[in-house]
Structure 1
């Protein structure tokens, strides 16, 4: 199974927006760009809202049938580990292998020695075509890379082989996720990480490295745009060379995680994937859940009151909701509106405070990040929340489609 050049990971916490999401991809197709939709949901998200992996597959299949989509589509077991993968194997054909917990933990000394021995031919000056800088490789540097990343590659290999033993190696797509860590990987580190993935027989088709800067969920990139652009291009070039050097799949491409609303990055990414004729995978994560909240707020009536209730409840559980996402959010609690303020808001005020329009005077990125991780509260509302989504389906769906197409697909794939 081969992942296409352009793919778009679409998270849907509550499995109600499959058709609205797919319409954004259909709109792109009508403009001449083929994008593979990938519905993704993690074990943590399933547990939080009390759903099962098979429900995501059912949502994707139903959306595809309802809209007559004839192109490829995937269902991603997002951020999966050996401890959680088995529940996803039957319903998923895309697996994001999460090895972040093993980064920085040393592998057995014998494995490190073997890794260094396999890479000895690179000691000296390493040149990557297209990158001006020459990389000086030493035994100490190889050992340092091994100490940081080799155990993660070994564990990813165990997970990959476990999935392959059940599904068959040609029946799924593997992505390796290294993004939810504190420090970015340098291009030369990525080169040797890819060598370790090849050593462990992982036929990865996408890799999600950690880039410089903050990739906070649901809001724009915070960091040095020039440095990101340099890293992204160098990583493209590293991947191209690693494919040749280590026999990795020819369609291996970069994946941008926590990609929701990284608007300032879309122009340089778009330019670079065209320049190098390469693909990209973007995960939009929880953006859809926020668009549901915007639609419900705009609907008014009991739906607006429900959105206010969800926010106020979440505000009182700030640490519980935010701490698990500390690596990927940065909420200034003092900038959050109080419960009393929100109680008086109109639907437009709530929607404009949440919608990611940085030019609107009401937009509040702290409010948006807070609600991004507050989907647990909505899930606890159970039937009330789902009933509101069904009752106000049209206004919610319009927001979901517009967000994905206008703010993500257009600037990234059609600019």
Structure 2
């Protein structure tokens, strides 16, 4: 691959053909034999431009005038781009680098993420979306990877990125995500975890345990009951009560994990990062339970890349950690040692803006780990709106208040709406301060789907089109805001440049 002089792309001619101003992304200008390709933006839309001749010119679909083809930045053309520029195709984190999930709900954040990552060795998952997020935004996983791939091309980012099918619960979603190009599957087995077990008294626990088949009980008891397992400075004993609790709580989830691993991960023709999520539970993951799960994964020959326990304290959306930092440090140290002992990395979910624990993660986890972020990138887009279009921000804020009861059904937050300053009391120049207030951050965070997709009586978007128009006009400022905000995450996590 060779970078060409950007002057070989005639932007004036492109403007004449499109009938509107054109911005050329100079880092994208690339030679492929007799063809030069580049990415441009014209208002809200991006296009691939191919100048010259040859296979890539022929395979791209678009409008041709002489030797210049203007092609929509769509899915079909992304696949052509992947074919000729492999760095635009997502890959697995096979080197086990420290990694960061950078979920981009808008398809506009990756360029800012790339700026933040400059000079670090972090492996990014630019494409990361859960089924819930896809439903709220009206996107497909193809759309998510398309946006990431074009941004990687736009910025000339050649060092590799991943695509995470996040918090998947159903086999059909796993299969679909893998076909669409996912290089990581985060398996959410919460529907197979029995959260009712932890609250049972001794008699009720024993009664439930006796309902299991004798063969199953005997197997687990011979393997683990009263066994002593030494990991680092800690010794864990799986006493009978705890073993009964763990078997009843997790055995169906472990069966599900094994089935998914054997059906989809092992049979894949390419490397896949396999993450186990056990954080969607009512109570923190006891280190003894983590040991039991790790032992079972090993016995079942299930190889996982990362595992996400539920830690002590609260990891609510868009705000800092809530809880005792000393207790968290001690809890983290045990989970980190267990993960290291059994050969996988720890994953921290809902990691956005958990600034108080980031230095603890960096100090405690000796080696590589994974942190997921997502909503904080959306909130930086809202910050941009507050800074550049106060009228639009006020409309978004008012609609978020209306939709908050609906959004709260899908998220665990402790938002106090009565503590958010009334809009009429805040000057336009001070609207950005809402993004510094935890209650307002959560209000704006969890209502994103309604702000993006809700329509008026005529079927037009109430807010979404205006937001995307602003992001197109102010993309450089959005990149700057993201680079600063995600850069703070990276610095405190010890992922220094």
- Is the TM-score greater than 0.5? yes
8 Å CA contact 1:260–1:286 kept in 2: the answer is: yes
- Aligned in 2, Cα 1:174/1:41: closer, same or farther, shift over 3 Å? same
Counterpart mapping for 1:164-179 below 5 A: 164=265, 167-168=268-269, 170-179=270-279
- Counterpart CA distance in 2 for 1:86 and 1:125 is 38
1:208 to 299, 302, 308: 308
| Per-residue deviation, 1:135 | 2.7
Q: Provide the C-alpha distance between the structure 2 equivalents of 1:59 and 1:320, rounded to a whole number of angstroms.
A: 28
Distance 1:42 1:115 in 2: 35
| Greater strand fraction, Structure 1 or Structure 2 | 2
Following superposition, the deviation at residue 217 of structure 1 comes to 0.8
Matched, 1:333 2:407: no
Report the Cα distance in structure 2 between the residues aligned to 1:117 and 1:50, rounded to whole angstroms.
46
2:443 to 355, 370, 392: 370
Q: Distance in 2 between matches of 1:306 and 1:193?
A: 49
Cα distance change on mapping 1:307 and 1:189 into 2, 3 Å: same
CA contact (8 A) 1:104 1:148 kept: yes
- The residue aligned with 1:120 is 222
What is the SS of the residue equivalent to 1:167?
Answer: coil
Aligned to 1:307: 393
Match of 1:297 among 360, 379, 386: 386
Task: State how far apart, in whole Å, the 2-side matches of 1:115 and 1:78 are.
Answer: 33
Unaligned runs of 5+ in 1: 244-249, 355-362
Structure 2 counterpart of 1:161 = 262
The alpha-carbon distance between structure 1 residues 111 and 377, as it changes in their structure 2 partners (threshold 3 A), is: same
C-alpha distance in structure 2 between counterparts of 1:43 and 1:334, whole Å: 31
How does 1:28-107 map onto structure 2 within 5 Å? 30=119, 33-39=120-126, 40-82=128-170, 83-89=172-178, 90-104=180-194
Q: What is the CA-CA distance between 1:167 and the residue it aligns to?
A: 3.0
Looking at structure 1, the residues matched to 380 and 274 of structure 2 have their Cα atoms a distance apart, in angstroms, of: 29
Alignment match, 1:246: none
Structure 1 Cα separation of the partners of residues 464 and 495 of structure 2 = 38
- Shift of the 294–372 alpha-carbon distance from structure 1 to 2, 3 Å rule, reads same
Q: Distance in 1 between matches of 2:470 and 2:267?
A: 39
- Cα offset for 1:181? 1.8
Greater relative contact order: 1 or 2 (C-alpha under 8 angstroms, separation 6 or more)? Answer: 1
Using the size of structure 1 for normalisation, the TM-score is: 0.85
Once the 2 structures are TM-superposed, how far is the Cα of residue 283 of structure 1 from its aligned partner?
A: 0.7
Q: Which has the higher helix share?
A: 1
How do residues 253-332 of structure 1 correspond to structure 2 at under 5 angstroms? Answer: 253-273=345-365, 276=366, 278-299=367-388, 303-326=389-412, 329-332=413-416
Aligned to 2:240: 139
- Render the CA deviation track for 1:207-244: whole Å, top value 9, x for unaligned: 11000101011111010111111111111111233x2x
* Contact map agreement 1:77 1:96 (CA 8 A) in 2: yes
Please tell me whether residue 412 in structure 1 is matched to residue 493 in structure 2.
yes
TM-score by length of 2: 0.72
Contact 2:145/2:163 (<8 A) preserved: yes
Displacement of 1:49 after TM fit?
Answer: 1.1
Give the distance between the partners of 1:330 and 1:352, measured in 2 at CA: 20
CA-based RMSD of the aligned residues comes to 2.3
Ranges in structure 2 where 5+ consecutive residues have no aligned partner: 1-91, 198-207, 454-462
| Change beyond 3 A, Cα 1:324–1:184 | same
Q: Distance in 1 between matches of 2:220 and 2:101?
A: 35
* Corresponding residue for residue 386 of structure 1: 468
Deviations 1:155-208 (A, max 9, x none): 22233334337633x521111111122201111110111223334443210011
Once residues 427 and 239 of structure 2 are traced to their aligned partners in structure 1, the CA distance between those partners, rounded to angstroms, is: 61
In structure 2, what is the Cα distance between the partners aligned to 1:323 and 1:261?
22
User: Is the 2:136–2:450 contact (alpha carbons within 8 Å) kept by the matching residues of 1?
Assistant: no
Q: CA deviation at 1:73?
A: 1.1
Secondary structure of the 1:124 match is: coil
The size of the alignment, in residue pairs, is 380
Contact 2:306 2:346 in 1 (8 A): yes
Q: Residues of 2 paired with 1:116 and 1:378: CA distance? A: 54
Q: Is the 8 A contact 2:226 2:240 kept in 1?
A: no
C-alpha separation in 2, matches of 1:397 and 1:114: 55
Matched, 1:400 2:482: yes
CA distance in 1, matches of 2:168, 2:477: 33
- Cα distance in structure 1, aligned partners of 2:262 and 2:334: 30
The CA deviation at 1:388 is: 1.4
